[in-house]
Every structure is written in structure tokens, then in C-alpha cells.
Structure 1
């Protein structure tokens, strides 16, 4: 079952989105200037995942001022906190804000480099992804 959920997540249809067109060094430099004093992470090969939550969980997320959307990135380019290494995958916490090539979770700003995608996923698919490999720093699955 988990394999089927992940297969659909990774290979099923998605809406293509464009992120920042700068190269890695330019993204890192611009992010240091723009997000002084705030944790940020530059990523590539990313997907925004609109999570279909049960009503009670969705209300809980919204009461925190967040949206039921997370970022999955296959490749970390730079992590200002130094927790993730280059090319680590990550799964963010729920979305606080999204604008163009900047995805902000509760605690971290993510700069989206290159092309990415957006799709809807079930909560079980998100749980399967969280259990798969290096799931990054997301906190939304904690009970």
C-alpha cells in the first residue's frame, strides 16, 4: 500500500510550477541578504503537496494560521541552520505563506529553485513519504 501511495505521489500527474531562475550561488547570496536573522533553506527538485486532511485536522492546522500544504524537496542546496547537507531531501512543516518562489513554513523560509510541481495528496500518502528516507524537519505528523 505505501509503495502504491508513493508511486502515485512521485509519478502521478501534477501542475508544473516555476521557481527562481538564479543559479545556486546567486540564490544563496540573495537569500542571505533577504532573510537576515531568519532560518532559510534553498532547494531544488521540489513539490508543493496540498494535503487532504480530515476536517478536524484541517481545522487544527488553520487555527494555527497555517494551510494544509507542505513542501517536499528532493535536493537541499543550502540550509542556513546547517541541519541538512547538500542533496538531502526534506519535508517541511505546514505552509504559512507561499509567493512565487518562496514557501514559508511555521519556522523556515524555503527558496524554490528551478522547476517544481504542485499536487494534491492524501494524508496516508504524506505519512508514507514521511517514513521514506530522510524526511527533513517537518513537525506536522507529531501527535
Structure 2
């Protein structure tokens, strides 16, 4: 699976980013300051995928309260609702916000990004072909 982030399926790795370097307990506490009610899922080895869309498609996505971006993570560290087992991968639904450099929110969850990751543009087809 390492090829997804390092180049393989999605081409070049994109821009390198750094998520939080806090401990699990500290990062969960910090995330709760911004998101009181959404379930938290802490991940490592992540990539934010900005979908390549037309202006018209972007307008529709934004009017629906989202941004044309998705998250893929190779490793779930902790999921409050136990939807995902530790060590498993996860792909989010469309994101709504990316805050503080480590909080990727969707309508239903907040993904807390730990350690190094990447951000790049990708086609919708490539995003949905990831696992």
C-alpha cells in the first residue's frame, strides 16, 4: 500500500505536510476544542486528495457545504466509534474543512492527522479507485 502515497497509483506524492505531533490523548483533547460532537478518528500515513473538478462542479460541491477534497489514510490509530480497526486503512467521504493543519472534517467525522502526510490533486476516478 505504500505506493499510493509514495507515487505508485496516484503519481507523484504531492506536497509534504506535517500533521500533529501531540500524543493521542493530547490530540484528541485539542480536536474536541474545535469539534464538540462529531466522532474522531486518528490516522497516520495520510494523504489529502484535492479532486480535479470543473468550476461548475466546484460550485455545486460548495453549495452542498463541502469542499472537493478527500482523505486517504493507510493506518487508523484510534476510532472513537470503533468503525475502523487500528492498523486498517480508511478513505473519507468528501471533506468540509481542513483546520489547524491536522483536522480534516467531513459531515460525519473528524479525521485527526498525525505525523507526516501529503496533499495533492487527483481525478475523481483515481480517488475512487484507491482500494
User: For the superposition of Structure 1 and Structure 2, which TM-score range results when normalised by the shorter chain?
Assistant: 0.7 to 0.9
Within-5 A mapping of 1:80-95: 80-95=80-95
Please state if 1:116 is matched with 2:110. Answer: no
Return the offset for 1:61: 1.4
Q: Deviations over 1:5-46 (max 9, x none)?
A: x8241x513101111011334434x25854443211111110
Note the alpha carbon deviations across 1:53-92, whole angstroms, 9 max, x for none.
2455433311111110111111111111111000111111
Q: Taking structure 1 as reference, are residues 64 and 32 closer, same or farther at Cα in structure 2, changes over 3 Å only?
A: closer
The offset of 1:94, in angstroms, is 1.3
Asked if residue 62 in structure 1 is aligned to residue 62 in structure 2, the reply is yes
User: Within 1, Cα distance between the matches of 2:31 and 2:127?
Assistant: 30
**What's 1:49 paired with?**
49
Q: Aligned to 2:117, what secondary structure does the other structure show?
A: strand
Structure 1 position 103 matched with structure 2 position 104 = yes
Q: TM-score of the superposition, structure 1-length normalised?
A: 0.75
- Shift in CA distance, 118/19, structure 1 to aligned 2, threshold 3 Å: same
The CA RMSD over aligned residues, in Å, is 2.1
Structure 1 outlier segments of 4+, above 4 Å: none
Return 5+ residue gaps in structure 1 as ranges. Answer: 1-5, 133-143
In structure 2, the CA distance between the partners of 1:20 and 1:54, relative to structure 1 (3 Å rule), is same
SS at match of 1:7: coil
Match of residue 15 from structure 2: 15
Write the distance in 2 (CA, Å) between the matches of 1:115 and 1:106: 24
Structure 2 gaps of 5+ residues are: 1-6
